[in-house]
Every structure is written in C-alpha cells, then in structure tokens.
C-alpha cells in the first residue's frame, strides 16, 4: 500500500510538471501566445482538507482571491489540497525546486529545512495569541532572512490554529501532578518529547496517521493538538477530558522560493506579498471564531473541558528548563533574542 501511495503521488506530481511544460503551447495564434505570456500560473499545495473551514484551505482561497484581484487575472492560482502532491516536507522541497510556487505546513516540518524555525517548538515561548502576533509582525523580515539563508524559501503568510491542548481518556487533568502516569502521544519531535518528560509524564511518539487508532486501542491515554484538530479528527469519540495548557501554538508558514519571487515584475511581487498578508489577517479572524465554535462542539459531544491548570506556572517553569539543551540546534541564537525582546523577556541561560 505504501508503494502504491508513493506511486500515486509521483504520478500526480508528474502530471502537474507536464502541465507546466505545455502551458501556452496549445495555440499558434500570435495574440493567444502574447496573452499566455502575460499570465503566471501559481501552484499552491497543502496537505489539509478541502473544506473552506479548514485553516489551510481558507488561507489558500483567500490568497487566491486577493492575488487574482490585485493582478487583474495576470496571476492564476491553482490550489492542490489534501496532500495531492505529497507530504508537507515534500511540499517545502517542491517550492525549493519550483515544482509548486507555495505551500503551507506545520512549522516543525519547515524546521527540517530551516533549523532556526525550531525556535517555535520551545515550550511557553508564547503565552497568548497576541504574543505570537506581536513576535511575527515585529520580526517577520528577520525570520525570513534566516529562512532564506538556510533553505532559499521565505514565508509570505503565517497561519495558526491556536494552542495545543491535552486530551485524555482517563481523568481530568487540573494540576501537573494529575498528568503523571498518563501516556501521551506526541509527534516525533525532540523538544516536545523533552517537554513532557520534564513534566514527569510518559511521552510516546506515534505517527499522525496512527494516532486515532492508538487512542482507540488504548496504546496511549491521550494526545495534544489544537481544538480544531481535535474536532475535525473526531477525537471526542475516543477521548473524554481536555486541559487548556499554553505550552505550544500550532504555527504554519506559507512559503515561496525567494529567488523566484524576486524574478517577478514588481507589481506582481507586491501583489503576492500583500495577498500573503491578507491571508494572515484572515486566518487570525477565522481562528478566533473557530476556537469558540469547536469548544462548544466538543462540549456537545460530552467532552469535559477542565480549563487552564490551577498551577500552570509550574508547568511553564519545569518545561522551560529544557530550552538551553536545544540552543545548539538553532543556527543563529540572536533571532531568538530578537523575538524575546519583542516579548519583553530574556531566554533562559545555559
């Protein structure tokens, strides 16, 4: 089955590549050729669903609307949702190679290619959505400078899906001590694993496509993800309790290749950059509403929402002790210092 899936993805990517090669070759009329040369096909991929309520798809649609309107149709955006062209990491590489022009993904997957983005995995970097917005808005160019040096790609938009909260099937978690003894599924991410170990919990790395079954079969007791992810994946069928911690936000850049962007006419380049900003602001409005809607949905599904832990300061203090052991993963620690300056704080010292 795995080989068949890889073959399917390869075939789809091949079809897209062939379509790129033949664009503009279907007519021999001079006026048609001139018309084709004026148009830019912008391929935008992501691995999430096709519903307009999905943050990835909503951002892609907003971007398409904004850039096509601003360029009077000179840029035509084609959206490839649902992982049609492969995984998120494959999408980042496809942008680097020019197979697609943009893709969105979880920031930890982008960090594989741009290690400075591992900063966003540090627990309790942000204590609120507003803190995240402030850091991005004040350090957007500095982050892109590092991304370009490390990967050749830059972010034209920043998406979020809220804080990753903990769910489990056994008991309410209202204090840090309540977490002890629970097996919690986490991504295979060293910072996230270290964080849960600092809380004297038993983190269990499991691939995303196996997570629901692992919860259903009690291989693990719980998992951590934002409210929209819990709702759309129907975790309420196999989980009972929710705890609102603020240790990590789901953050996702929309990336393009900087060299390709710079090669465009100035008006087109500005329209694409502005469309990315529009998608960012649209995402912020969408997530504020979606957060409330999904909380209500989960309550209707009989999940118990315990709220913020009574001792969240203890969660924060323990987890932030892991920061120094990961500084060596960050190529330029000054970027983290700039971000901390925006927050009015200093990073934990070695």
Q: In this structure, are residues 290 and 228 in contact, taking their beta carbons and an 8 Å threshold?
A: yes
Distances (CA, A) of 88 to 19, 93, 159, 260, 284: 22, 9, 14, 20, 22
Structure tokens at 79: 């959206």
As a whole number of Å, the end-to-end CA separation of the chain is 47
Closest listed residue to residue 171, CA positions, set 241, 245, 243 = 241
Distances (CA, A) of 345 to 117, 163, 312: 19, 20, 18
| Helix extents (H) in 83-235 | 88-97, 107-110, 129-151, 176-179, 190-198, 211-216, 227-232
Between CA 328 and CA 41 the distance in angstroms is: 40
pLDDT at 288 (0 to 100): 86
pLDDT at 235 (0 to 100): 97
Structure tokens at 169: 């099937």
pLDDT at 18 (0 to 100): 45
* Helix, strand or coil, per DSSP, at residue 253: strand
Closest listed residue to residue 133, CA positions, set 284, 273, 286, 291 = 284
pLDDT at 37 (0 to 100): 54
β pairing state of 102-104 and 153-163: unpaired
pLDDT at 8 (0 to 100): 42
Non-local CB neighbours of 332 within 8 Å, separated by 6+ positions = 116, 146
* Helix, strand or coil, per DSSP, at residue 167: strand
Closest listed residue to residue 123, CA positions, set 350, 347, 349 = 347
Between CA 187 and CA 206 the distance in angstroms is: 6
Closest listed residue to residue 166, CA positions, set 307, 316, 321 = 307
Q: Which residues pair with 204 in a beta bridge?
A: 185
Question: Any idea which residue has 């196999």 for tokens?
Answer: 238
pLDDT at 72 (0 to 100): 95
Give the dihedral of Cα atoms 292, 298, 303, 307; nearest 10 deg. Answer: -10
How does pLDDT run along the chain (350 residues), one tens digit per residue? 434 444 444 444 444 444 443 343 333 333 333 344 578 999 999 988 788 778 899 999 999 999 999 999 999 999 999 889 988 999 999 999 999 999 999 998 899 999 999 999 999 999 999 999 999 999 999 999 999 999 999 999 999 999 999 999 999 999 999 999 999 999 888 999 999 999 999 999 998 889 999 999 999 999 999 998 899 889 999 999 999 999 999 999 999 999 999 999 999 999 999 999 999 999 999 998 898 899 999 999 999 999 999 999 999 999 999 999 999 999 999 999 999 999 999 999 87
Can you list the domains of the chain with their CATH numbers? 2-115+128-159+258-285 (3.40.190.170), 165-248+293-343 (3.40.190.170)
CA angle 285, 185, 202 (to 5 degrees): 125
Between CA 156 and CA 273 the distance in angstroms is: 6
Contacts 24+ apart (CB under 8 A), 24-28: none
């Amino acid at each position: 089955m795995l080989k068949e899936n890889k073959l399917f993805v390869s075939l789809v990517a091949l079809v897209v590549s062939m379509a790129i090669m033949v664009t503009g070759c279907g007519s021999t009329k001079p006026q048609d050729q001139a018309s084709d040369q004026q148009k830019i096909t912008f391929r935008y991929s992501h691995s999430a669903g096709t519903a307009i309520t999905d943050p990835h798809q909503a951002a892609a649609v907003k971007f398409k609307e904004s850039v096509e309107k601003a360029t009077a149709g000179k840029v035509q955006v084609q959206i490839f949702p649902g992982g049609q062209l492969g995984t998120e990491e494959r999408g980042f590489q496809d942008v680097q190679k020019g197979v697609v022009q943009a893709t969105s993904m979880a920031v930890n997957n982008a960090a594989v290619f741009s290690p400075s983005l591992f900063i966003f995995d540090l627990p309790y970097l942000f204590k609120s959505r507003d803190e995240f917005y402030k850091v991005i808005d004040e350090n957007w160019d500095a982050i892109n400078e590092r991304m370009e040096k490390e990967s050749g790609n830059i972010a034209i938009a920043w998406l979020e899906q809220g804080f990753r909260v903990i769910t489990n099937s056994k008991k309410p978690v209202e204090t840090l001590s309540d977490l002890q003894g629970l097996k919690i599924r986490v991504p295979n991410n060293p910072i996230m694993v270290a964080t849960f170990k600092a809380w004297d919990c038993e983190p269990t790395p499991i691939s995303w496509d196996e997570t629901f079954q692992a919860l259903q079969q009690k291989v693990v007791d719980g998992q951590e993800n934002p409210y929209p992810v819990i709702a759309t994946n129907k975790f309420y069928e196999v989980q009972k309790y929710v705890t609102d911690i603020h240790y990590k936000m789901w953050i996702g850049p929309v990336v393009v290749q900087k060299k390709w962007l710079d090669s465009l006419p100035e008006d087109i380049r500005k329209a694409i950059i502005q469309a990315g900003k529009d998608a960012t602001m649209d995402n912020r409005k969408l997530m504020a509403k979606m957060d409330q809607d999904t909380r209500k949905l989960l309550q209707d599904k009989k999940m118990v929402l315990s709220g913020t832990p009574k001792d969240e300061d203890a969660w924060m203090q323990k987890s932030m002790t892991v920061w120094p052991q990961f500084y060596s993963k960050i190529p330029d620690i000054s970027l983290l210092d700039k971000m901390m300056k925006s927050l009015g704080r200093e990073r934990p010292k070695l």
